[in-house]
């Protein structure tokens, strides 16, 4: 039976022991973002003393109760605890961000030999030749030279990503001095310049966008196909027309403005308009990109697809073992018909009785297109 367990570790160090009696566990792995863990534990339970000190928590999964595996992004930092000192049950709740969160504890310093510009550390100026890998490698290397991020490791360089591919997107970027390194990393992710995942307890991997993290498991010899009743218990969708629009009004820098119209959008109430102010837009090509992003989002009903996982009836495909965030898999779509969907987030929970449940947040190809457009738009403001 699929199960989860928690293991405590010293900070940047060795294993302390198993936490055998959590009152609940909830852990979420979003795509290209910071995973999170929440759990509750009683001070009267075996292993509670391990939580009375700064520590790391490893989340392990097992398909059979015998072999336990901690995925690369399964290590968390016990950062926050909450409890009532008069509660005789000794219940405490713990919030634990991914080990990736330690990048918040390193900040952007001025370069040793290049003066800041308007309070910013500038990369790729006057020639926009910086890459996401170069920026992150330099910030991480300098932080460790100052004594920060002592236990942190990464598998890419300033010139090559984790897979050994050359970073191929160049740009200019100004980073306000004092900005934490995690904020810089997530800005690069949002701009579509880098994909990330923790691939070891304290190790960050990074790739050119749209490569290693985005596997298509629908085309392999044995495709991953979640079946209703076996792998999926329920398939709730939430649809909304709130973003429906057929005309987009884009206002950029230097009083630049333009309109984009989608004549193919269904208009049950006639023309609906949407407007946006976008930093970095000063010409028609960029404005077209922004407007098209709004119209892609506004062309049809938006649907949030959640698939509740079942582990009680011989599930064939298991999260973390068979698929990860970013993977494209087959899953029940409209009327239960199979459709290829992207895994955007995996969430797993465990009760005090040891019952594990979970859900997936899934996106279709239209959402993929929208995200690509949003990333290209975010990249417009990546400049010194």
Instruction: Identify whether the C-beta of residue 114 lies closer than 8 Å to the C-beta of residue 374.
Output: no
DSSP β-ladder status, 247-251 and 273-277: parallel
Give CA torsion, residues 291, 292, 294, 298, to 10 deg.
130
**How far apart, in Å, are the Cα atoms of 301 and each of 98, 218, 308?**
34, 25, 22
Q: Which CATH class for the 3-97 domain?
A: mainly beta
Structure confidence at residue 313 as a pLDDT band (50, 70, 90): confident
pTM of the shown model? 0.89
Residue pLDDT, tens place only, 319-350: 999 999 999 999 999 889 999 999 999 999 99
- % of the chain surpassing 90 pLDDT: 67
Q: What pLDDT shows up at residue 36? A: 98
Transcribe 312-343 into DSSP letters: SS--SS-BTTTB-TT-EEEEE-GGG-EEEEEE
Element (H, E) at 214: none
Closest among 184, 151, 174 to 75, alpha carbons compared: 151
* Ramachandran category for residue 380: left, alpha or beta (phi over 0 → left; psi -120 to 50 → alpha): alpha
Q: What pLDDT shows up at residue 364? A: 64
Contacts 24+ apart (CB under 8 A), 9-12: 9/55, 9/56, 9/57, 9/58, 9/75, 9/201, 10/55, 10/56, 11/54, 11/55, 11/56, 11/151, 12/56, 12/150, 12/151, 12/202
Task: State whether CATH 3.55.50 applies to domain 103-211.
Answer: yes
Residue pLDDT, tens place only, 264-283: 777 899 999 988 776 665 56
Residue pLDDT, tens place only, 110-147: 998 888 888 999 888 788 889 999 999 999 999 999 99
Closest among 340, 61, 346, 343 to 223, alpha carbons compared: 340
Q: Is 48 exposed, middle or buried (0-12, 13-18, 19+ CB in 10 A)?
A: middle
- Widest CA span of the chain, in angstroms? 66
Structure confidence at residue 211 as a pLDDT band (50, 70, 90): very high
Instruction: Identify whether the C-beta of residue 59 lies closer than 8 Å to the C-beta of residue 376.
Output: no
The arithmetic mean of pLDDT across residues 356-373, rounded, is 76
* Ramachandran category for residue 146: left, alpha or beta (phi over 0 → left; psi -120 to 50 → alpha): alpha
Instruction: Identify whether the C-beta of residue 40 lies closer than 8 Å to the C-beta of residue 17.
Output: no
With a CB cutoff of 8 Å and minimum separation 6, the contacts of 222 are none
């Amino acid at each position: 039976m699929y199960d989860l367990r928690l293991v405590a570790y010293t900070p940047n160090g060795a294993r302390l022991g198993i936490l055998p009696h959590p009152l609940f566990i909830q852990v979420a792995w979003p795509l290209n973002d910071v995973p999170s863990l929440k759990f509750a534990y009683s001070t009267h339970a075996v292993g509670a003393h391990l939580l009375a000190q700064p520590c790391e928590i490893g989340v392990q999964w097992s398909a059979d109760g015998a072999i336990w595996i901690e995925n690369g992004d399964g290590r968390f930092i016990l950062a926050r605890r909450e409890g009532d000192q008069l509660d005789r049950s000794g219940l405490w709740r713990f919030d634990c961000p991914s080990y990736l969160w330690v990048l918040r504890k390193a900040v952007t310093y001025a370069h040793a030999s290049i003066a800041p510009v308007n309070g910013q550390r500038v990369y790729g100026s006057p020639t926009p030749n910086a890459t996401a890998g170069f920026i992150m490698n330099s910030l991480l290397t300098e932080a460790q030279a100052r004594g920060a991020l002592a236990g942190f490791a990464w598998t890419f360089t300033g010139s090559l990503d984790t897979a050994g591919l050359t970073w191929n997107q160049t740009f200019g970027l100004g980073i306000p001095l004092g900005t934490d390194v995690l904020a810089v990393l997530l800005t690069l992710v949002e701009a579509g310049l880098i994909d990330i995942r923790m691939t070891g307890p304290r190790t960050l991997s990074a790739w050119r966008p749209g490569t290693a993290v985005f596997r298509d498991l629908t085309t392999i010899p044995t495709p991953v196909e979640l079946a209703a009743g076996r792998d999926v218990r329920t398939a709730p969708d939430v649809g909304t027309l709130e973003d429906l629009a057929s005309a987009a009004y884009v206002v950029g820098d230097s009083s630049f403005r333009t309109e984009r119209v989608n004549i193919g959008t269904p208009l049950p109430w006639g023309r609906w308009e949407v407007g946006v102010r976008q930093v970095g837009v000063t010409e028609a090509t960029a404005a077209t990109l922004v407007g098209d992003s709004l119209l892609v989002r506004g062309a049809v009903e938006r649907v949030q697809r959640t698939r509740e996982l079942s582990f009680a009836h011989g599930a064939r495909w298991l999260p973390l073992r068979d698929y990860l965030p970013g993977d494209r898999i087959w899953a029940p779509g409209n009327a239960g018909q199979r459709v290829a969907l992207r895994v955007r987030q995996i969430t797993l929970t465990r009760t005090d009785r040891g019952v594990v449940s979970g859900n997936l947040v899934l996106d279709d190809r239209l959402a993929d297109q929208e995200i690509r457009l949003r990333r290209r738009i975010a990249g417009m403001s990546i400049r010194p």
